[in-house]
Chain A
């Protein structure tokens, strides 16, 4: 996504972005941020990203553990089933 030309970013756009970011954070983290604290928003966003990373790490762990106990064709079946299920 490239922006051509330096158009001014309005206050509205900034506020919209900040509130979108805030709404992404889980409830527990949102409570830590009061309205005018950019620093807290940055902090909570950073630590939320880190916790998401840790979760992916843990899920990879468990998934690869399961792969040790299955034959080669099973991952295929799982994923196709997940794809079909919506």
Chain B
């Protein structure tokens, strides 16, 4: 079994930025009617889709994330469509079927747990039992926080976590540099704007 391949940084970076560009342009073109909250949500959505697309469909968390976002953000359909193409519509359909299946099996599990719990009350709380239940609880947390993690276990789950954390770090890094570049360009353009309006003022005063 292979461990997660290390991300080729340049490929990821280029793919992320290109994706992000599509998303931000889509957001910008509709931003005149958007509230600040809505625009912020659109930017975050673009960043997450860009991260998943940059990582590629071979990572389970990436597929799960795209499916999840497509289903949850249907009011941002234009943005999603521009970043994902027809994958978006397909995913919305697939996800609706998938969700029902998961909910049903969760119900069944919960019912069977309730029936078994009465037998467990008798157990002595050895340190190893406590340790095991902590690992169990924390594994559950990890499963929830990693997209698609619900159906993974043990080695696969940790493998996925490794991949996901690496991608998140790259996402943060790239967004920081994007932000920085945007801030710099903003201050540059405002300087030139001020300079040119000063010139205009001088010309007018001169005449």
A residues with CB within 8 A of B: 1, 3, 7, 9, 13-14, 16-18, 20-21, 24, 38-39, 42-43, 45-46, 48-50, 52-53, 55-57, 59-70, 72, 74-83, 86
Contact = CB atoms under 8 A, between A and B. Distances in A.
Given A64-B39, A79-B21, A1 B59 contact: yes
Contacts of B60: 1
B185 to A, nearest CB: 6
B167 to A, nearest CB: 10
**Interface range, B side:** 35 or more
Given A13-B1, A14-B155, A68 B145 contact: no
A60 B43 CA distance: 6
B43 A64 contact: yes
Closest 3 CB pairs of A and B: A42-B138, A60-B44, A64-B43
A18 B158 contact: yes
Interface residues of chain A: helix, strand, loop or mixed (majority)? helix
Contacts, number: 157
A39 B162 contact: no
Interface string B3-32: 111000010011001101100110111010
A21 B165 contact: yes
Interface stretch (B73-81, B94-102, B172-180, B197-205): B172-180
Contacts of A61: 40
A76 B25 contact: yes
5 contacts: A46-B145, A56-B44, A57-B44, A69-B186, A83-B13
